[in-house]
């Protein structure tokens, strides 16, 4: 074991004492909070609640180890007063709607890239040099010719503004990390699903069928095929990577070990809702059957790197979709 690796492992072992989570009121963020609190960490959440809700983290609001700060990463003055005490900073704050970028690319530029830059400036100026954990996305790969797609795939050509801003954020994080001497872990996530999600294909299908149980409009040609991972599998991967990664900048794909297409998801949701004779109305989509411009038709990540650390998803894509549909239909957080 070399000196640098030993130092990083020692830092990892101490990284759960004081934690900052941006976007902690959101879908993935709130599940991460649940896990962190179970590890008896002291957790501070910074969120402007534009996408998340206090309801997602309600159980922790009065806990002695938990602090909530309503603040916006686009206004650095608002969070300049944060204490210089964090061992790790989980950066999940972002605009998660891929389709938004097609209509208004400025939203993703500011809420994803500028916000990340502002947080990096905060981390750079701290004395404690916290580990930065960033949730990136499979969309940074664009439409790769290699499926499953490994972390070293190139060239990276995202086809959405969302994917482009996440890739640019990765580049900024890497540059800051290597320039200013702290450590970063980047997770390129597949489609993460589960309780508290308020966007995405399963959520949309449930909402549509609750309004009209006779017909379901499906964007695209229904053959869009992707990997879906249950949210607790995702948070377990994130925490294991934090514990086990020994690189200065660790990059890991996080997803399931299989795929499922949109039409199959529609059939699963209708079955879980106990609906019969539902007409599936395919729009045909754009650009060869995509749901929208920027929609990647075939996404499947190679997860060998994160698995080599000892992680493996508990649910496959179909199991994760079924479990998510059940929860969303019941509408329980």
Say what the pLDDT of residue 16 is.
74
What is this structure's pTM?
0.92
Say what the pLDDT of residue 102 is.
55
Over residues 13-31, the pLDDT tens digits come to: 445 789 999 999 999 999 9
Angle 17-23-27 from CA coordinates, rounded to 5° = 105
Backbone angles phi, psi at 153, to 5 degrees: -65, 140
Ranges of each domain in the chain: 3-193+227-254, 201-226+258-297+314-330
DSSP string of 103-128, one letter each residue: H-HHHHIIIIIIHHHHHHHHHHH-SS
Contact 264, 224 (CB under 8 A): no
Backbone angles phi, psi at 242, to 5 degrees: -60, -40
Over residues 112-156, the pLDDT tens digits come to: 999 999 999 999 999 888 999 999 999 999 999 999 999 999 999
Report how far apart, in Å, the C-alpha atoms of 332 and of each of 71, 201, 253, 318, 327 are: 27, 18, 29, 20, 6
Nearest CA among 11, 189, 193, 168 for reference residue 86: 11
Say what the pLDDT of residue 15 is.
56
Backbone angles phi, psi at 253, to 5 degrees: -75, 140
CATH superfamily, domain at 3-193+227-254: NAD(P)-binding Rossmann-like Domain (3.40.50.720)
Q: Given 3.40.50.150, 3.30.365.10, 3.40.50.920, 3.90.25.10, which CATH number is that of 201-226+258-297+314-330?
A: 3.90.25.10
Nearest CA among 212, 305, 192 for reference residue 252: 305
Say what the pLDDT of residue 7 is.
38
Task: Please check whether the two domains, 3-193+227-254 and 201-226+258-297+314-330, share a CATH topology.
Answer: no
Contact 13, 246 (CB under 8 A): no
Say what the pLDDT of residue 10 is.
40
For the chain, list residues with pLDDT below 50.
1-14, 101, 332-333
């Amino acid at each position: 074991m070399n000196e640098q690796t030993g130092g990083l492992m020692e830092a990892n072992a101490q990284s759960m004492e004081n934690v900052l989570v941006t976007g902690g009121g959101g879908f993935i963020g709130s599940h991460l909070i649940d896990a962190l609190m179970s590890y008896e960490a002291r957790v501070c959440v910074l969120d402007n609640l534009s996408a998340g809700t206090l309801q997602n983290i309600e159980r922790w609001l009065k806990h002695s180890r938990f602090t909530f700060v309503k603040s916006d990463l686009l206004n650095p003055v608002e969070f300049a007063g944060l204490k210089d005490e964090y061992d790790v900073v989980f950066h999940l704050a972002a605009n998660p709607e891929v389709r938004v970028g097609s209509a208004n690319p400025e939203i993703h530029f500011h809420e994803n890239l500028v916000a990340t830059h502002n947080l990096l400036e905060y981390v750079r100026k701290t004395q404690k040099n916290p580990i930065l954990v960033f949730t990136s996305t499979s969309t940074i790969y664009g439409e790769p010719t290699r499926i499953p797609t490994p972390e070293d795939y190139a060239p990276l050509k995202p086809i959405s503004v969302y994917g482009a801003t996440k890739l640019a954020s990765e580049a900024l994080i890497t540059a800051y990390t290597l320039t200013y001497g702290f450590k970063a872990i980047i997770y390129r996530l597949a489609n993460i699903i589960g309780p508290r999600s308020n966007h995405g294909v399963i959520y949309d299908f449930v909402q549509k069928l609750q309004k009209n149980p006779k017909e379901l409009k499906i964007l695209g040609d229904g053959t869009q095929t992707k990997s879906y991972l249950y949210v607790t599998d995702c948070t377990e991967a994130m925490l294991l990577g934090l514990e086990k990664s020994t690189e200065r900048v660790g990059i890991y794909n996080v997803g399931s070990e299989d795929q499922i297409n949109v039409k199959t998801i529609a059939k699963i949701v209708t079955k879980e809702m106990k609906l019969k004779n539902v007409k599936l109305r395919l729009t045909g989509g754009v650009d060869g059957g995509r749901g929208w411009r920027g929609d990647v038709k075939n996404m499947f990540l190679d997860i060998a790197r994160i698995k080599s650390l000892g992680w493996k998803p508990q649910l496959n894509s179909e199991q994760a979709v079924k479990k998510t549909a059940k929860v969303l239909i019941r509408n329980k957080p």
